[in-house]
Structure 1
Amino acid sequence: MGGFDLRYGGRSVLVAPAGRRLLSLLVLSRRTLTREYVAEKLWPDAAGTRAAGCLRSALWRLPKLDRPLVIATASTLQLSQDIETDLAATEDILRRAIAWSQPSGRVPPDTPLPDTARADQALSSDLLPQDWDDWVIVERERLHQMRLHALESLARVHRAAGRFGEALDAALRAVAGEPLRESAHRQVIETYLAEGNTGEAIRHFDELRHLLRTELGLEPSPPLCRRMGSAVQAMRTRP
């Protein structure tokens, strides 16, 4: 997350570019891969024999530690089970955060909210931001969407518990991650309404409407418009 880094014994280990791509592919694939598949993914413009040679070279140039980074057979490659990744840890935290606001979530009611500080710090930068292989781009977008859902989930949970400051922080971070995402804006608006700041909710709704009109030529969804209409009407009829 935020760029490739291999650490061993608390220190960074230098890895050649081809080795970085090889390890990244194995991490993101999460399974045993055939040598042919890896060679084709990493060197798509090379002929089969040349790509296979590049793969052998990349394997040979991997750092020589006291334990292997890659388990290689004559036909397959697999990441060593000794390797821990920040990707796996981040995904686990995000999944637990998302589950908190799902009706079917199996989180015990007395379990504390997941600490998303580590995940948020890791995802403050994109996955392998300087890599543009198709297999990286797809995974980068998936993690981006997971983070947005996790932030919206935390906003709902915090709001239900009356923690409006934390709810607003999570919702606004989701908006910052995807400014045209209406569901994130709705969490901001619902939080303002829940804490009695109807004026702030109206202001934010107007900003969203202007943004959608300017960028997409669209209006906010009918459910959100009705929600704001009800809030405005309730404010006008207050004694």
Structure 2
Amino acid sequence: MIKSPSDGVRLLGPVEFRWAGAPVALPRRQQRLLLGVLALSANRMVPLQRLAEVFWPDGAPPGGRRQVQVLVSRLRSLLAGSDVEVLASGSGYGLRIDPMAVDAHRFAALKERAAGSLDDEEKAGLLRQALDLWRGPVLDEAAVGGARDLLCVRLEEARREALEEHAEASLRLGRHRQVLGALAEEVAADPARERLAGLLMLALYRSGRIAEALDVFERVRARLSGELGLDPGPALVRLRQDILRGDPRLGGRSGGSEVVGRTGDLEGEGLVMLGLGRIRFAQDRFAESVAAYEEARHAFQRLGDRRHLAAALSGLGTVRAEGGWFGEGEADLLEAASIFASLGDLAGHAHAIYMLGFVERERGDDELALWLLGRALDAYQKIGDRRGEALLQRSVGLVHRARGEYAPAAARTRESRRLFTALADPHGAAYADQSLAKIRIRVGDLPQAERALQASLRVFTGQGDRFGRALGLRTLGELRLEQGATAEARVALSASLNLWEALELPLWRARTLTVLAHLEHRYGQAAQAGAARRESTAIFGRIGSREGR
């Protein structure tokens, strides 16, 4: 019998089991994965063949059946004392549990009830309850790689459907501002999902944000055209035309003055700007990201909403730090760190400290950078944030590389790549590959540098990451220079400089100019080398980066 409302199995995020109001430790990833598989099929037997496919998508090893039996035995020990029991049959295993004690089944039940309701108020309420059960990706850090494809795709799709249905019901109820923040985050994660994009466009239009609604359409069109060679569907095209005409069937619009007139509207405004800041940063549109985060900061300051204020400050500090505006970024991050600490938000505080370490690394204060990054790494490891840990391992590796300590730099960067790969994050792994390529160039291992760099460039290009591509092209220029391929080095560096110019990131342009100056000097072009060196030196001095120390 369930003894506490919080008892049961949580799968909609990191896998957890709670009993008698307290968490039960599940220390090994495969234990969490086994519990997740069995709980998804509550009270039904899961064949051994299915378990083998989940644990070893590329084929079970010799003794795989015995390994499953050992995992089952250990899971039974962990569940001992609860009313949840692992059952066995000749062909597999099952979990005896009240389905409503599994959050994934509660989610499905609430979604089904909402689908049968004809009342939008009830429908929105049920779907809100269902969505509130989610704490992150399904089976987060338990199912990775092929196991995620087998287990999680259906539930993740059901969550997106629930969010769309909740937004539709809320829009019919006139609550367009309340759904803006959630829609903006979802569209940022999946710009090509046209139904979500259409809902965000409509919510923005009804909030008086016509230009932003049209911008959503343009982003969808660019994504579909660039990745699939397709155009937006007729429904989205028609919505864009209706917005341009101000078609009254779209519902009334709110003017800008109304947005700040009521507390609820001001909160919606802040959440929209918070989401837009993240979108623009992901698009490498740094100045627009800063502007959006500034609006979010002002909104949350007026509301006295410290948690969201800290998120806006952290976003501002991150964008400014990565853009080379170190002084402003540091001030934002220090304030964010202070607020997160007072709220007991360990993840938020860890990120702010990480970015403060980033600033000190870029300024050249290696000892302070290592201390700050070490604190952030400890925090991420304490809360079990593997992605944060992966980012920190790479960042610490960059400090060691700048100090000429190539062995620890390589070890840290390889660990970062291992973590990103385990998380099925090719984008993060690509940044680790680019860092490894730089280290290998420095130690003269040019063939290995070539392989790592080409792998990273393929990912950056495929994902439309202009920052990553510019970084990779600069490294490619360094590699070609070391290989004696002057013409190819010049082409790569020129392409990198053009991207930095388009991104309006002078620090990174200056670093590329330094490589170009080295190339020109090596091949006797003293005038061109001097011009590149003077321009880069002026930028370093103005920004206060480590090169200008």
Q: Same fold (TM over 0.5)?
A: yes
- Structure 2: runs of 5 or more not aligned: 1-11, 248-549
Asked if structure 2 preserves the Cα contact closer than 8 Å seen for 1:70 and 1:77, the reply is: yes
Q: Which amino acid aligns with 2:17?
A: L
Q: CA deviation at 1:141?
A: 1.7
**Is the 2:86–2:93 Cα contact (8 Å) retained in structure 1?**
yes
Whether 2:193 is the aligned partner of 1:178: answer no
The answer on 1:149 being equivalent to 2:161 is yes
| Distance 1:46-1:168 versus aligned 2 partners, 3 A rule | same
Is 1:46 the counterpart of 2:61? The answer is yes
CA deviation map 1:134-185 (0-9, x unaligned)? 4442332222211211111122111112122124344324313422212111
SS in 1 for 2:37: helix
1:187 deviation in Å?
0.8
Q: 2:106 aligned with 1:89, yes or no? A: yes
| 1:220–1:226 Cα change, 3 Å | same
- Whether 1:57 aligns to 2:73 is no
> How many aligned residue pairs are there?
226
- 1:109 paired with 2:119, answer yes
Q: Structure 1: which amino acid aligns with 2:67?
A: C
The alpha-carbon deviation at position 58 of structure 1 amounts to: 2.2
Other-structure match for 2:96: 80
- Per the alignment, residue 205 of structure 1 pairs with 217
Residues 211 and 68 of structure 1: CA distance in aligned 2, closer, same or farther (over 3 Å): closer
Stretch deviating more after TM superposition (145-154 or 125-134):
125-134
SS in 2 for 1:78: strand
Residue identity in the other structure for 1:72: A
Quote the RMSD (CA, aligned, Å). Answer: 3.2
Q: Matched residues in 2 for 1:143 and 1:231: separation?
A: 33
Give yes or no for the alignment of 1:123 onto 2:134.
yes
Distance in structure 2 (CA, Å) of the matches to 1:211 and 1:42: 34
Comparing 86-95 and 115-124, the one that deviates more: 115-124
Contact 1:152–1:170, Cα closer than 8 Å, also in 2 = no
CA contact (8 A) 2:171 2:203 kept: yes
Alignment partners' CA distance in 2, 1:82 and 1:164? 37
Higher relative contact order (CA 8 A, sep 6+): 1
Does the CA-based 8 Å contact 2:37-2:151 persist in structure 1? no
Q: Aligned pair 1:32/2:49, yes or no?
A: no
Specify the SS of the correspondent of 2:125: coil
Offset of residue 186 of structure 1: 0.7
Change (3 A) 1:215 1:174: same
The structure-2 alpha-carbon separation of the partners of 1:173 and 1:51, relative to structure 1 and needing over 3 Å to count, comes to same
SS of 2:93's equivalent?
strand
State the secondary structure of the residue aligned to 1:114. helix
Work out whether 1:220 is the aligned partner of 2:232.
yes
Q: Secondary structure at the match of 2:214?
A: helix
1:219 deviates by: 2.9
Measure how far apart 1:204 and its partner are: 3.1
Q: Deviations along 1:180-199, whole A, 9 cap, x unmatched?
A: 21211111222334456544
Could you tell me which residue of structure 1 aligns to residue 15 of structure 2? 4
Matched, 1:71 2:75: no
Is contact 1:156–1:167 with CA below 8 Å preserved after alignment? no
Which residue is 1:103 aligned to? none
What is the CA deviation profile of residues 97-127 of structure 1, one whole-angstrom value per residue up to 9, with x for unaligned ones? 5x2xxxxxx2143862325455435435111
1:207–1:56 distance in 2 versus 1, CA, 3 Å: closer
Runs of 4 or more above 6 Å deviation: none
Q: TM-score, normalization: structure 1?
A: 0.75
Q: Secondary structure at the match of 1:15?
A: coil
Cα contact 2:15–2:139 (8 A) shared by 1: yes
Which residue, 175, 184, 187 being the options, matches 2:199? 187
Q: 1:70: how far off?
A: 0.4
The question of whether the paired residues in 2 share the 8 Å contact of 1:90 and 1:119 is answered with yes
CA change 1:46–1:109 in 2 (3 A) is same
Distance 1:210 1:204 in 2: 10
2:153, 2:201 → 1: CA distance? 26
Q: Over alpha carbons, which structure has the higher Rg?
A: 2
Distance 1:115 1:166, change over 3 A: farther
1:89 counterpart letter in structure 2: R
Which structure has more helix as a fraction of its residues? 2
| Structure 1 segments unaligned to the other structure (5+ residues) | 100-105
Deviation string 1:59-113 (CA, Å, 9 cap, x unpaired) is 322325234520224554220125722222233334445x2xxxxxx21438623
SS at match of 1:7: strand
Say whether the 8 Å CA contact 1:190–1:201 is kept in structure 2: yes
Distance, in Å, in 1 between the alignment partners of 2:88 and 2:22 is 25
1:28–1:135: structure 2 CA closer, same or farther, 3 Å change rule? farther
Query: Quick one: which amino acid aligns to residue 209 of structure 1?
Result: R
CA shift for structure 1 position 36: 5.6
